[in-house]
């Protein structure tokens, strides 16, 4: 018996949750269920997070959370409950299987069977954004070694447990050499620990094009947060219907399972919604808690029902479907098929091996870190790099000198091009003039002198080497 938390959500949420619970209970799921209220009602009662403390207490105690879609009210500064939950509970892995159900659900990609594993906590989603000048805003892209190791290891363990043959990594490390570079590097390191699983890396742009065109080429794909967000929707859509996909959000101690679609408010209360997405989430939950026999039974009965042509309105198609059913009728049909297997679609087999247990992240020894320069960011609306260089060179601090100025990353001094468009946001790179390192004291002096010269400094970014290796990017064109 496992104690779980559920939230029935908004719109079609309560109907698809009821159908899902009915099916998994009929299949023999051993669950003790606590229900919490999250979403629209909580938001509208004035809680901008959409969830209150008592709900958190229950979710954290039970550790396993099955959540129906919720409605986030428009405007009013309401925070996304999904993002909050992922971050608070450390749900670092978002797992989204995208499989075609050809010929029973129309798709251009009959052979598609991929699992997207998206890093869920970092990258541009850390939400650290600032306006720094009149013309420029920034968003910090944070990628950590623990974040990369956890998600990449999860992808390989997932592939191993589910008998998958290949793990592909998507990044844009030809451009983002530090952030995406780290993700790719960690991928290569961890891949070596799994010699039986094929591995490869693609640059995200051509990789995404290949997914849209020839998804059958891929098996498991792991990638940083933003790319995963976009691509997992593309992948789910091209299977034929987003209404059929579930997703798991996995952390070291907690996990949340859901459908990928929203609360479809216009369909609410009509008993027409397709419960399959949430049911897919529930199957992943059953595997997660070790009730693999029940998960297998539910999944095969569901596949058989789809194969029988018993379809809700969203996937109903004249000539393919046999019967257009309501939410409750669909649930009854799945229940009636419990114990049976599909004959055209591939039946699944899960066993205890399917339960993933990952080792905790082991911290590495600190590297030798040396300060070798500083980037001083400046707000200046003179727009001419040579003039700014003259100004900045008057900020003289013994032992450091101006080595380069960039604008939006492009080198504009020395030897810039007149054609390069410049904004009011400049990066002035200072390096040691004598070849030695730079001290924090020199940086503070630099800021003080700049202030005295009336230069509007926005921020500084220290330049380091780690174990002697340069750990910052060069200016484009440098
Ligand atoms: P949606 O997914 O709710 O609906 C998009 C379309 O798909 C609609 O035409 C709907 O009728 C159909 N649809 C969706 N699920 C279906 C199902 N199970 N069966 C049959 N048809 C289905 O997306 P939306 O309209 O953009 O968003 C509605 C609300 O849901 C918004 O408030 C949004 O914030 C919220 N939302 C919540 C989640 C979540 O809780 N995880 C995810 C996405 C959107």
Q: pLDDT for 54-66, tens place per residue? A: 999 999 999 999 9
Round to whole Å and give the CA distance between 147 and 96: 18
Q: Is pLDDT at 364 greater than 80 in this prediction? A: yes
Query: Collapsing DSSP states into helix, strand and coil, what is residue 294?
Result: helix
CB 253 within 8 A of CB 63: yes
Topology of the domain covering 108-239: Isopropylmalate Dehydrogenase (3.40.718)
CB 89 within 8 A of CB 254: yes
Q: Is pLDDT at 32 greater than 80 in this prediction? A: yes
| DSSP secondary structure code for residue 343 in this structure | S
User: Helix count (H) and strand count (E) of the chain?
Assistant: 13, 20
Round to whole Å and give the CA distance between 302 and 115: 19
Model confidence at 354, pLDDT cuts 50, 70, 90, reads low
What is the average pLDDT score of the chain?
94
369-470 placed in CATH 3.30.70.1570: yes
The CATH code belonging to domain 1-89+242-345 is 3.40.718.10
Atom 27 of ligand 1, residue of closest alpha carbon: 262
**Residue 245 — φ and ψ, nearest 5°?**
-105, 145
Helix residue spans in 265-369 (DSSP H):
276-288, 292-307, 327-336
Centroid of ligand 1 to alpha carbon of 272 (angstroms):
13
Question: Where does CATH 3.30.70.1570 sit in the chain?
Answer: 369-470
CB 361 within 8 A of CB 454: no
Helix residue spans in 214-326 (DSSP H):
225-238, 276-288, 292-307
Q: Is pLDDT at 476 greater than 90 in this prediction? A: no
Four-CA torsion 256, 261, 267, 271, nearest 10 degrees: -50
pLDDT at 242: 82
Query: Is the CB of residue 69 below 6 angstroms from any atom belonging to ligand 1?
Result: yes
Query: Is the CB of residue 267 below 6 angstroms from any atom belonging to ligand 1?
Result: yes
| DSSP secondary structure code for residue 142 in this structure | B
Round to whole Å and give the CA distance between 50 and 466: 43
pTM exceeds 0.85, yes or no: yes
Question: Where does CATH 3.40.718.10 sit in the chain?
Answer: 1-89+242-345, 108-239
Query: Is the CB of residue 247 below 6 angstroms from any atom belonging to ligand 1?
Result: no
Four-CA torsion 291, 293, 297, 299, nearest 10 degrees: 60
Round to whole Å and give the CA distance between 236 and 115: 10
């Amino acid at each position: 018996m496992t104690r779980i938390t559920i939230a029935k959500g908004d719109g079609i949420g309560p109907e698809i949750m009821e159908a899902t619970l009915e099916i998994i209970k009929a299949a023999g799921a051993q669950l003790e269920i606590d229900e919490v209220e999250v979403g629209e009602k909580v938001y509208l009662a004035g809680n901008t997070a959409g969830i209150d403390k008592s709900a958190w207490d229950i979710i954290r105690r039970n550790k396993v959370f099955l959540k129906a879609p919720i409605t986030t009210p428009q405007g009013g500064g309401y925070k996304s409950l999904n993002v909050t939950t992922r971050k608070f509970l450390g749900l670092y892995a978002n797992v989204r299987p995208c499989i075609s159900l050809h010929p029973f659900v129309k798709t251009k990609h009959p052979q598609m069977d991929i699992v997207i594993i998206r890093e869920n906590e970092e990258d541009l989603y850390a939400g650290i954004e600032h306006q720094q000048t009149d013309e420029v805003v920034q968003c910090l892209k944070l990628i950590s070694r623990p974040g990369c190791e956890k998600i990449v290891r999860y992808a390989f363990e997932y592939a191993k447990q589910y008998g998958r043959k290949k793990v592909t990594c998507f990044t844009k490390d030809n451009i983002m050499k530090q952030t995406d570079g780290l993700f790719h590097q960690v991928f290569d390191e961890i891949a070596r620990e799994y010699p039986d699983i094929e591995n490869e890396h693609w640059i995200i742009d051509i990789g995404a094009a290949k997914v849209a065109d020839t998804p059958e080429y891929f098996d498991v794909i792991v990638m940083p947060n933003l790319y995963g967000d976009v691509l997992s929707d593309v992948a789910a859509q091209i299977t034929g219907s987003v209404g059929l996909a579930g997703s798991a959000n996995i952390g070291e101690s907690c996990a949340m399972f859901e459908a990928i679609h929203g609360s479809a408010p216009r369909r609410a209360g009509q008993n027409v919604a397709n419960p399959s997405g949430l049911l897919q989430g529930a199957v992943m939950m059953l595997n997660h808690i070790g009730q693999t026999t029940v998960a297998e039974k539910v999944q095969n009965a569901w596949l058989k029902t789809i194969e029988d042509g018993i379809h809700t309105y969203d996937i109903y198609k004249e000539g393919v479907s046999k019967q257009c059913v309501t939410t409750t009728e669909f649930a009854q049909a799945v229940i009636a098929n419990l114990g049976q297997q599909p004959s055209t679609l591939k039946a699944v087999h899960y066993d205890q091996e399917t339960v993933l247990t990952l080792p905790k992240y082991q911290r590495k020894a600190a590297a030798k870190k040396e300060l070798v320069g500083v980037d001083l960011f400046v707000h200046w609306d003179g727009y001419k790099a040579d003039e700014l260089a003259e100004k900045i060179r008057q900020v003289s601090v013994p032992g450091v000198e101006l080595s380069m100025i960039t604008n939006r990353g492009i080198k504009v001094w020395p030897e810039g091009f007149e054609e390069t468009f410049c904004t009011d946001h400049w990066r002035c790179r200072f390096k040691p003039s004598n070849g030695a390192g730079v001290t924090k004291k020199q940086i503070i002096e630099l800021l003080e002198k700049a202030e005295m010269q009336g230069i509007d400094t926005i921020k500084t970014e220290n330049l380091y080497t780690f174990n002697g290796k340069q750990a910052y990017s060069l200016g484009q064109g440098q």
